[in-house]
Amino acid sequence: MSTGALASTEPRLARQRCGGACIWIAGAAVTALLVLVPILSLATLAAGGSGDAWQHLVANVLPVATLNTALLLLGVGVLTIAIGAGAAWLVTAYQFPGRRVLDWALLLPLAVPTYIVAYAYLDLLHPIGPVQTLIRDILGIASPRDLRLPDIRSLPGAVLLLGFVLYPYVYLSTRALFLMQASGMIDAARTLGAGQGRVFFHVALPLARPAIVVGASLALMETLNDVGASEFLGVRTLTLSIYSTWINQTNLAGAAQLALVMLCLVVVLIAVERAARRGQRFGTTAQRTAAPAPRRLRGLAAAGALAATLVPVLIGFVFPALHLVNQAWIRLEFAGFSPRLVGEAWNTVSVSAIATALVVVAGVVVAYAARVRDDRLGRGLLRAASLGYALPGTVVALGLLAPLAGLDNLVDGAMRQSFGISTGLLLSGTVAALAYAYAVRFLAISAGGVDAGLAKVPRRLDYSARTLGETVSGAFRRVHLPLIRPALGAAAILAFVDCMKELPATLLLRPLNFETLATHLYGEAARGTYEDGAIAALLIVLVGLLPVVLLARISRPAVSMAAP
Amino acid sequence: MSALTRIKSAATEDGYAFVAPKRAEWQMGTPLGAARSSPPGMDQVYRPDSRTAEREPSPSAALSLDVEGVSRRYGGLTAVDDVSFTVAAGEIVALVGHSGSGKSTLLRVIAGLDPLDTGRIAIGGRTVATPEGSVPPEKRGVGMMFQDYALFPHLTVLRNVTFGLRGLSGGEARAVALKALERVGLAERAEAYPHMLSGGEQQRVALARALAPRPGVLLMDEPFSNLDRRTRLVVREDTFAVLRESGTTAILVTHDQDDAMRMAERILMMQGGRVVQSGSAEALCRQPKTLQVARFFAEWNELPAVGLKGKAATAAGDFPAPGLRDGQTAVVCIRPSGIHFVPAAKGATGGRIVSRHFLGETEMLHVVVQGLAHPLRVVAPPGAGPATGSTIAFAADPADVLVFPAD
């Protein structure tokens, strides 16, 4: 080896220091930064707000909103855990008529967004709606004034409705745990003479605690995110206060300050969820045995189990869905499918499709970067980019308003100075801003999905591709991409559906006169008019069924294992 | 052994030269062993120092490999610790050691999949890695094979092999890949998917895939350890023949001494991230430098000993140990085949045969010796020797006795 050769090769070595991984890491860093923009800008906004507005908020808005939000979270938490964990235990531990169907049917309420369930029940439980009319007919009461039932437009009403559509998060995670790992210990408990009650409360439930917490924290994030249901039901939550502080009072700093308060709640939820996931990982490594053989229930016990698992499906899905079908049918017969609705459906699909494309590409970038640099940097960027799933849509939208406007002004100013052209608003109040907000909110879906898909590709395939002459990016294109295609497809569907259902961010960021199906429904419900709302709601629910089918399919092998 | 006959018939065809840009050349049709007909020296080593050399055909794709003072640390653990060695072009070297000895990490560092913390690696005389920077694996011209073969599950056998043939047109790549598959006897499975193949077939596809782009150095990480014993012997012979025919420089990582001795001209034994001994299989078997090397390559009777006047004293007699201080503890290793039964006489140690196991070509006897925790194992020709239960005297051949200081 001559020293000359060494000297001549060294500069080349230095240039290739990080190989082809740099692009991916840089891409991931940019993505993570773009996700963090709303949070950073919120902090800046809140810091810049005038003190007196804040004092007003602290005195008049914050106490009520915080109390309402806390009570709502508490109620929804208790209800989702009771329904979700209870139903999960019933369908995994017992055999009763209808169990096979209910096993997946219990997921159906996932297809109904919170604002739609509230919309449907406002109608159903209206004093002159079908339910109260039926009750009056049975009791022989003529006038609505003579029978006062508790109003659904109340905090307990909101808890009830949100609980019945959000319990599937707990059901899903807990049922998976019961199927995967608890059986060995449950069998052991039985052979040690524990009765059914003891098995559930002393073995199954403690084992499932991390899974329950994960599910419940996801349900609570959805609760925090909700703006439609709490408005329709007249519950002044933090989210709603943020929304009205900005829309009605155009007090951006005040809204930002409220949003920061809510961010604290979000941070707590994330921390709880992360801790629970760690516990879950510990739990699954402990034991993994065959699925439990369900015990056959007979007579009254079977009927009780059937009722207990059927009621959540009826309340959370069947009743509102039937009502929407009925209303939509009436409307269609009366007025047909209005061109306005077609336009809104097109708006919804197109903006969702743009956002989905963004989400999938960005998800691939951050997940593959984390594979290429499987260290603190890569993993940290992946995690930062996935933060949006916990951010309520209102917070994301509010956090994006200022930076987008700033960017627009900057571009406009620069263009005017150098070319004498005014570009006006490029991003603010455009579909682009909306797609950006969706991407921030739902990036976690694709990043997580792609990451899980990549985890199934053995590292040695990467090494083989590299030593066969492929670059980091080439290996992705020729090896990983074909192998993770199913995961990518699933992520795209989930993200697309979530975009279509999104309401709070859409309300704040949509361009003028730009309506999606969700905002249309919101508008009608807010005005108290009933035109095409039911059709829009029904369309959203139908699209929302897609991920439910997907989830039911993914969990099917486990289900069939459980059913001998 | 269909692969071998195929290789031979392929070898009789006259040289079909392939033009693979960027990669060095070797003649696929050269007769078996031709690539090694003259001893590989530095003057023959292909050095793509100048840019034109990269496009010029060379008699052999094989490149030399220089590893100089290479270390690799993970956190507090030094997986590879100041390792230096050279592999001549066309040489086959085995890197052996127990799991955790750092051999696989070293392989990954050579391939460019892991960075190095100190030292330098050169392939064909060209520096490819220093702590300051490194040529990425895809530009190093190394091939790699893995224990689980790492075939791409979504590609057919043929497309797995063409994967690394970049810069060739589709038709050319296909032709080269088919030839490579033919060499390993799998041309007719070209359209199959990896999961449809047996373990031995998958291994051969992996070999064809790694060799098709004509790597300057082929790195093999436990390439036989996923195969059952019978398949393993056949595949190992086939692989050896293919490597010899192509004249490829190869490094084989294995924890199996049999693989190492059959395949390699030179063996490097690694332990705790360091190369503790290197040399021919015979040298490592006959004159192991450490107890670990001795244990790795052969079965021994290990007897605790104490130094006494230049000898190692054990319950089974004293053995010459010039370097041993008085009172120093040591281990005396006696080869089971090095123990002979002798007529009872003064100086000879006695014992009692407690069992004998017929092993086909030989017989294993267990001899209980007073003062030893375990019976001595003695390998003898079958049927020979005294009956079970009889008391005997024995002596050890000095050539079959090694003394190591106790660790």
For A55, left (φ over 0), alpha (ψ -120 to 50), or beta?
alpha
Q: Which residues lie below 8 Å from residue A167, measured CB to CB, with a gap of 6+?
A: A79, A80, A83, A84, A87, A109, A219, A312, A316
Q: Is the ipTM of this complex over 0.90?
A: no
* pLDDT tops 60 at residue A211: yes
Residues A407-433: tens digit of each pLDDT: 888 888 888 888 887 777 777 778 999
* pLDDT tops 50 at residue A446: yes
Q: B66 CB near a chain A CB, below 8 Å?
A: yes
Same domain? For A153 and A294 the reply is yes
Lowest mean pLDDT among A58-62, A173-177, A258-262, B230-234: A58-62
Q: A7 CB near a chain B CB, below 8 Å?
A: no
Q: How confident is the model at residue A123 (pLDDT cuts 50, 70, 90)?
A: confident
- In this predicted model, which residue has the larger pLDDT, A335 or A393? A393
Asked if the Cβ–Cβ distance from B133 to A16 is below 8 Å, we say yes
- In this predicted model, which residue has the larger pLDDT, A409 or A14? A409
Domain that holds residue A258: 54-281+290-306
Sort A230 into a burial class: Cβ within 10 Å, 0-12 / 13-18 / 19+: buried
Same domain? For A134 and A247 the reply is yes
Same domain? For A397 and A296 the reply is no
Tell me the two tokens of residue A393.
Answer: 């849509």
Tell me the two tokens of residue B284.
Answer: 């490592």
Residues in B closer than 8 angstroms to A6, CB to CB, are 127
3-state SS assignment for residue B250: strand
**What's the whole-number average pLDDT of chain B?**
81
- Contacts of range A542-547, beta carbons closer than 8 Å, 24 or more positions apart: A542/A111, A543/A497, A543/A500, A543/A501, A544/A110, A544/A111, A544/A112, A544/A113, A544/A497, A544/A500, A544/A501, A545/A108, A545/A111, A546/A493, A546/A497, A547/A110, A547/A111, A547/A493, A547/A494, A547/A497
- Looking at residue A557, its pLDDT comes to 44
Q: Which of B129, B138, B213 sits opposite A471 (nearest CB)?
A: B138
Residue A439 lies in a domain: yes
- Looking at residue A196, its pLDDT comes to 77
Asked if the Cβ–Cβ distance from B150 to A1 is below 8 Å, we say no
- Looking at residue A490, its pLDDT comes to 86
* pLDDT tops 90 at residue A357: yes
Residues B51-66: tens digit of each pLDDT: 333 333 333 578 999 9
Question: Of B116, B128, B152, B217, which to mutate for an interface test with A (greatest number of A Cβ within 10 Å)?
Answer: B152
* pLDDT tops 60 at residue A556: no
Q: Chain A residue with minimal CA distance to B129?
A: A13
| Count of domains observed in chain A | 2
Could you say which residues from 87 to 116 on chain B have a Cβ atom under 8 Å away from some Cβ of chain A?
108, 111-113
Q: A483 CB near a chain B CB, below 8 Å?
A: yes
* pLDDT tops 60 at residue B279: yes
**What's the whole-number average pLDDT of chain A?**
84
Q: B74 CB near a chain A CB, below 8 Å?
A: no
Q: A467 CB near a chain B CB, below 8 Å?
A: yes
Residues in A closer than 8 angstroms to B132, CB to CB, are 10, 13-14, 17
Residue A403 lies in a domain: yes
Same domain? For A364 and A449 the reply is yes
Closest residue by Cα to residue A546 from A176, A99, A110: A110
Residues in B closer than 8 angstroms to A1, CB to CB, are 66, 122, 125, 127
Q: How confident is the model at residue A136 (pLDDT cuts 50, 70, 90)?
A: confident
Same domain? For A90 and A208 the reply is yes
- How far does Cα B166 stand from its chain's mean position? 30
* pLDDT tops 80 at residue A50: no
Asked if the Cβ–Cβ distance from B127 to A5 is below 8 Å, we say yes
- Looking at residue A368, its pLDDT comes to 95
Q: A474 CB near a chain B CB, below 8 Å?
A: yes
Q: Chain B residue with minimal CA distance to A478?
A: B163
* pLDDT tops 50 at residue B114: yes
- Looking at residue B40, its pLDDT comes to 37
Distance from the A478 Cα atom to the nearest Cα atom in chain B, whole angstroms: 9
Residues in A closer than 8 angstroms to B166, CB to CB, are 469-470
* pLDDT tops 70 at residue B213: yes
Task: Determine the average pLDDT of the residues in B305-318.
Answer: 86
Same domain? For A123 and A216 the reply is yes
Asked if the Cβ–Cβ distance from A468 to B213 is below 8 Å, we say yes
Q: Chain A residue with minimal CA distance to B48?
A: A5
Residue A354 lies in a domain: yes
The DSSP secondary structure of A536-561, one letter per residue, reads HHHHHHHHHHHHHHHHHHHTHHHHHH
Asked if the Cβ–Cβ distance from A482 to B154 is below 8 Å, we say yes
- Looking at residue A106, its pLDDT comes to 94
Same domain? For A115 and A234 the reply is yes
Q: A15 CB near a chain B CB, below 8 Å?
A: yes
Residues in B closer than 8 angstroms to A471, CB to CB, are 136, 138
Same domain? For A59 and A165 the reply is yes
**In chain B, what percentage of residues exceed pLDDT 90?**
36
**In chain A, what percentage of residues exceed pLDDT 70?**
90
Q: Which residues lie below 8 Å from residue A507, measured CB to CB, with a gap of 6+?
A: A227, A243, A247, A397, A519, A522
* pLDDT tops 50 at residue A103: yes
CATH number of residue A271's parent domain:
1.10.3720.10
Residue A4 lies in a domain: no
Q: Which of A1, A17, A466 sits opposite B113 (nearest CB)?
A: A466
- Looking at residue A183, its pLDDT comes to 62
- Looking at residue A13, its pLDDT comes to 53
Asked if the Cβ–Cβ distance from B133 to A482 is below 8 Å, we say no
* pLDDT tops 60 at residue B148: yes
Q: A23 CB near a chain B CB, below 8 Å?
A: no
Residues in B closer than 8 angstroms to A466, CB to CB, are 111-113, 136-138
Q: B285 CB near a chain A CB, below 8 Å?
A: no
Residue A261 lies in a domain: yes
User: How many residue pairs bridge chain A and chain B with CB atoms within 8 Å of each other?
Assistant: 105
The DSSP secondary structure of B306-352, one letter per residue, reads EEETTEEEETTEEEE-TTPPTT-EEEEEE-GGGEEEE-S-TT-EEEE
Rounded to an integer, what distance in angstroms lies between the CA atom of residue A474 and that of residue A481? 10
Q: Which of B129, B150, B213 sits opposite A463 (nearest CB)?
A: B150
- In this predicted model, which residue has the larger pLDDT, B202 or B100? B202
* pLDDT tops 70 at residue B229: yes
Same domain? For A39 and A64 the reply is no
Residue A263 lies in a domain: yes
Residues in A closer than 8 angstroms to B222, CB to CB, are none
Lowest mean pLDDT among A178-187, A280-289, B171-180: A280-289
Q: A477 CB near a chain B CB, below 8 Å?
A: no
3-state secondary structure A130-167: HHHHHHHHHHCCCCHHHCCCCCCCCHHHHHHHHHHHHH
Residues in A closer than 8 angstroms to B164, CB to CB, are 468-470
Asked if the Cβ–Cβ distance from B163 to A474 is below 8 Å, we say no
Same domain? For A297 and A209 the reply is yes
Residue A414 lies in a domain: no
Residues in A closer than 8 angstroms to B49, CB to CB, are 5, 8
Q: B159 CB near a chain A CB, below 8 Å?
A: no
Task: Determine the average pLDDT of the residues in A208-221.
Answer: 88
- In this predicted model, which residue has the larger pLDDT, A463 or A52? A463
Same domain? For A368 and A276 the reply is no
Q: How confident is the model at residue A349 (pLDDT cuts 50, 70, 90)?
A: very high
Q: Chain B residue with minimal CA distance to A6?
A: B127
Asked if the Cβ–Cβ distance from B137 to A466 is below 8 Å, we say yes
Which residues pair with residue B320 across a beta bridge?
B311
Rounded to an integer, what distance in angstroms lies between the CA atom of residue A169 and that of residue A219? 6
Task: Determine the average pLDDT of the residues in A353-380.
Answer: 93
Residues in A closer than 8 angstroms to B151, CB to CB, are 464
Q: Chain A residue with minimal CA distance to B209?
A: A468
Asked if the Cβ–Cβ distance from B66 to A1 is below 8 Å, we say yes
Q: Which of A6, A8, A17 sits opposite B133 (nearest CB)?
A: A17
Same domain? For A69 and A42 the reply is no
Asked if the Cβ–Cβ distance from B130 to A13 is below 8 Å, we say yes
* pLDDT tops 90 at residue B71: yes
* pLDDT tops 70 at residue B259: yes
Task: Determine the average pLDDT of the residues in A329-339.
Answer: 86
Residues A154-188: tens digit of each pLDDT: 999 999 999 999 999 999 888 888 877 656 677 77
Q: Which of B113, B140, B153 sits opposite A463 (nearest CB)?
A: B113
By the 8 A CB rule, do A45 and A259 touch? no
Residue A471 lies in a domain: yes
The CB density around residue B230, as the number of other CB atoms within 10 Å, is: 9
Asked if the Cβ–Cβ distance from A10 to B132 is below 8 Å, we say yes
Asked if the Cβ–Cβ distance from B136 to A483 is below 8 Å, we say no
Task: Determine the average pLDDT of the residues in B274-284.
Answer: 91
